[in-house]
Structure 1
Amino acid sequence: MYVLYGTPLSNYYNKVKLCLLEMGLPFQEQLEFPKRNWPQGGSPSGKIPYLQCEDNTFLFESQAIVEYLCAKHQSSLLPSDLVQAAQIREVLFYIELYLEAPMKTLYPMAYWGKPIDSELCLSVLDQVKQGLAVILSRVRCQPYLLNTEFSLVDVVAWVHFKTIQHALKVLGLEDIFMDTPISSYLAFCAQRPTIQRLEADKRLAARA
């Protein structure tokens, strides 16, 4: 059985967790916070999540973990067709580089009590709007981002888009997904039982 280390409050943790849920793989969750045991234990970077495999091997970095799981279990989340797999990776990287990466500078203001810097907020908002334009030029949302089937890019999109959307709301900034196909896409994805389980666990963790 796999053991997933981290916290449901982390979108990268939820990226791996949603993959495990979608694949129907048995796993346990072990609460772990960034750098709590670092550098003596935990991950080499002090980051979460990390995964303990069935043979007690540890894997680190969410993208390495999900690609391992997809390959080992021959999951349709990452198709064997090389072009389809490359397109999934392409949009996945756009999401994490052009949306999630700049938004990280705002998370301390949204979630950890750092004073709000309005100028920085507007600068980041402009960056993520540009990033979203790139993503929208490469997706279809019919009904999922790239295919008629739920894939790894949808896993990544869900956990990051919802975190970004919530952070923008907390900061009093506009919802960049409103009036785009992403809005109805997120509503459609919210009906998946695995996503409902993920979100319920996240709410529970937030109240703890």
Structure 2
Amino acid sequence: MKLYGFSASNYYNAVKHLLLAKGLDFEEVKEYPSQNEDYLSIHPLGKVPALVTDQGPMSETDIIMEYVDSLSDPKFFPTEAFEKAKCREIMKVAELYIELPARRNNGEVLIGNPRCETAFREARPLMEKGFKALDTLCQPSPYLMGDKMTAADIFVRYALVVGNMVAAKVYDWKPLDEYPALKAWSKMMREDAVSQKVDQDSQAAMQDLMEYFAQFKK
């Protein structure tokens, strides 16, 4: 398998973490979002990540994660239908109500573009609802769904990379301080051996990412 993307991408890192946690063999192929025809044949929107398998390519982080999880044990998605749905619910809340609203401010945070006042005004209320919903859905003990790490732990960890970064840099806000159980969970996940490997690779890739972003500075 080949995983396309770049090591500073939080969505790429969610898939990478799962692949590493499952001990699967894969090749990393550095690729930034692109409208190049060759890459569009792999990801029809030109985004990252994308996974190329012997049967063909696929895109969208949660879809890739479900496919990867199906390949071998141990399983990170619950097998019982209700529990699997709850796992996906946690992932979706983190994506739609924390990561994606926060991402609207990335031009300011990552590139240094002028503030988008609409994004600034609209993102935080959605993020506040997202963090509150996440706290309601999860009672870490120690993982989000109990005593075993699931795909929810992996996905949410990397969704919150953007959420926490934007909260701090744009709003001078540390949302996890308001939710001690989630804060303790986040610290535990940060200390996980796979998380540390992924984080090290992400830090090493930051300079290249900044050079890539420079072309979009207004």
Common fold by TM > 0.5: yes
Equivalence map 1:1-150=2 (5 Å):
2-38=1-37, 41-53=41-53, 55=54, 57-117=56-116, 120-150=119-149
CA contact (8 A) 1:43 1:60 kept: yes
Q: Which deviations, in whole Å up to 9, do the C-alpha atoms of 1:30-51 show, x marking residues without a partner?
A: 1001015247544101111101
What is the SS of the residue equivalent to 2:205?
A: helix
Alpha-carbon distance in structure 2 between the residues aligned to 1:73 and 1:131? 32
Against the structure 1 CA distance between its residues 40 and 155, is the aligned structure 2 distance closer, same or farther, given a 3 Å change threshold?
Answer: closer
What is the SS of the residue equivalent to 1:136?
A: helix
Alpha-carbon distance in structure 2 between the residues aligned to 1:135 and 1:18? 21
Alpha-carbon distance in structure 2 between the residues aligned to 1:40 and 1:202? 24
Alpha-carbon distance in structure 2 between the residues aligned to 1:40 and 1:18? 24
Q: Which deviations, in whole Å up to 9, do the C-alpha atoms of 1:60-115 show, x marking residues without a partner?
A: 11111111111222442012122211110111111111111211211111112221
Alpha-carbon distance in structure 2 between the residues aligned to 1:195 and 1:9? 13
Alpha-carbon distance in structure 2 between the residues aligned to 1:31 and 1:120? 30
What is the SS of the residue equivalent to 1:137?
A: helix
Provide runs of 4+ in structure 1 moved above 6 Å. Answer: none
Deviates more, 1:95-104 or 1:190-199: 95-104
TM-score (norm 2): 0.88
Alpha-carbon distance in structure 1 between the residues aligned to 2:163 and 2:29? 25
Amino acid at match of 2:182: I
Alpha-carbon distance in structure 2 between the residues aligned to 1:130 and 1:172? 15
Alpha-carbon distance in structure 2 between the residues aligned to 1:173 and 1:120? 16
CA contact (8 A) 1:35 1:42 kept: no
What is the SS of the residue equivalent to 1:90?
A: helix
Against the structure 1 CA distance between its residues 91 and 40, is the aligned structure 2 distance closer, same or farther, given a 3 Å change threshold?
Answer: closer
Matched, 1:159 2:158: yes
Aligned residue pairs total 206
Alpha-carbon distance in structure 1 between the residues aligned to 2:200 and 2:190? 11
What is the SS of the residue equivalent to 1:133?
A: helix
- Following TM superposition, by how much is the alpha carbon of 1:122 offset from its aligned partner in structure 2, in angstroms? 4.2
What runs of 5+ residues in structure 1 fail to find an aligned partner? none
Alpha-carbon distance in structure 1 between the residues aligned to 2:129 and 2:99? 13
RMSD: 1.7
Matched, 1:183 2:183: yes
Amino acid at match of 1:147: G
CA contact (8 A) 1:16 1:62 kept: yes
Q: Which one has the bigger helix percentage?
A: 2
Alpha-carbon distance in structure 2 between the residues aligned to 1:191 and 1:104? 25
What is the SS of the residue equivalent to 2:122?
A: helix
What runs of 5+ residues in structure 2 fail to find an aligned partner? 209-218
What is the SS of the residue equivalent to 1:178?
A: helix
Q: Percent identity?
A: 23
Alpha-carbon distance in structure 2 between the residues aligned to 1:74 and 1:94? 26
TM-score (norm 1): 0.92
Against the structure 1 CA distance between its residues 107 and 56, is the aligned structure 2 distance closer, same or farther, given a 3 Å change threshold?
Answer: same
Alpha-carbon distance in structure 2 between the residues aligned to 1:90 and 1:193? 26
